[in-house]
Structure 1
Amino acid sequence: MLQPALGCRGRAGPAGMSRHDFAGCGALALWAFLGVLARLAAGIPPLQMTAMGMAVGGLAALLVVAARGRLGLLRQGGLAWAHGVGGLFGYHALYFAALALAPAVEANLLNYLWPLLIVLLSAPLLGMALGAARLVGVMLGFAGCALLVGGGAGFPAGAMPGFLCAAAGALVWALYSVTARRMAAVPTEAVAGFCLGAALLAGAAHLLFEPTVWPDLRQAGAVLLMGLGPLGAAFLLWDIGMKRGDPRLLGTLAYAVPIASTLLLLAAGEGQAGWRVLAAALLVAGGGLLAATGGRGRRAAPAVSS
């Protein structure tokens, strides 16, 4: 599998974090660049962008898997393929639909319910205790996220379908992430196939619902980087983190993604910094620290084969 290259099972780092937790954090770091890359690729329809990015990520991962002589690991059961392809495609399809049907700020706020849902669903689905410290950390993180993207936002009635898509997308990604731990028998290499399957679905949906736009050099470069990072390697790292790390911790630290993404956009000249960004960053950092240090006990969930 791919995960031994990232760390040894059970070895802990700072604040009790294992290397598998750090793999999940790597995915979060890559996702922080998605906003900047999407701005660079602006003009490409969202489903087309998803198909192109996931195709790049899937093909790159497939080359790595083939070089390691492990193509046979892509032979998984129907449950594994439904989980992988359905999660990757379903979340992004719902997210892009939300942005098309509702105001972006409000839709994005609802979409970022998924970190909160990951932490909360870890208890009933994985039998992992939350504890007061983790719950406070979750709420601090959510408060920071809401402060950053929800200030002054309205909720017009006509945008309700988009809001429902955003909430559904958050639930899909949270369920995909948490249940990945119960499918630990599915090797991370299989994610390469899942990305390609999701790319095919996104491509088919694009041909049905969107016009095709041929990217220029800037757009093509942005999609290439997107596929190698946020829509490629990030999925592999997230798979490792969810299956062998602590989903409660990663779900809380995920609140850093909108903060980091906003700071990168500001550095690229998009928008202006203010007290809201600084206050949100403090809330997210405090919530993440509390989640990392509060509650050491873990109860491992049994792996479920496909």
Structure 2
Amino acid sequence: MNEEQKQQGTGSSGDFEEQLRELLAEDANTIRPAPVAYPAIRRRGAIERRRRVAAAGAALVTLAAMPVGAYALADGDAGGNTVASTPPVLAPPQTSAAPSASSAGPERPATKDQLLDGITFGQAVDGLEKCLAYDQSHAGGPSDFRTDLGAAEDYRIILAMNSIGNSNAPGDGVYVVAVKEQPKQTRLICNVKDGEASGLNTSVGSDDVPGAGPVMADINGGKLYQQSVLDRGNWKLPFRWGVIGTVEPSVARVTVTYGGATSQAALDHGWFVASDVLDQQVTVAPRIKGYDADGKLVYDSDEDEGYEKRLP
């Protein structure tokens, strides 16, 4: 074998060994498991722990609704809350939680005295919804000039009382007064007769005027305390009346005198609401007074040049 043949043989052997080593390395990589994905495992563990905490929270909510004797929670002095072993009760599977009563629908008035004449809060809400639907169905003109009054759940009901029919608007019914602050201060007076909305008066935007006092009667609230001018001197009696308006935070008390009787107004989130029953003919508008926390008179409608003191 000459020198060239030896070199060729040696080269072939070296190539074979190199190829063999490469094949063995590939097989080793194929057999050897991939590195453990620690970040992914940690994420799955964290998710599972959150699920367990959520499940435990749901179980505690269920326990709160069960009879007291079913479960007992320790005070936590022993290092955490524990569950008594008498007797185990399986909670039904939890589905989507029902909305709470406070999360849907209009807000209630600040005092029970703002729902009058046996009108329930549910009836007042029903009246409000009917009047908003009435407004939508009777909306006319270009949309740019219409004001969307929003939904019933945007409002707080501040007054509900009987309404007395007169020559201009025959038929007795119910007045519902509701307000909202966002996106603009809105006040509506809704009249419901025979279960149907029969009229709606709205005021959008604040009634504040330069130089106004700390108490201001609603400029369109006269329909709540007077009957038609066609019936002047011949009102239907007894007559349920109401007076509403806004107050500044410095006002602690408001009184309204009408027909010789004085009523204490309810203060409700920047509004005042007064009502009573009139048993005599009147020609003078309600007199409104406001007092601060020290009992000092800070407003008197008799001294307010912008307040109409006589009935039309």
TM-score category of the 2 structures, normalised to the smaller one? under 0.3
Higher gyration radius (CA): 2
| Structure with greater proportional strand content | 2
If asked which structure has higher relative contact order (CA below 8 Å, sep 6+), I would say: 1
**Greater percentage in helix:** 1
TM-score (norm 2): 0.26
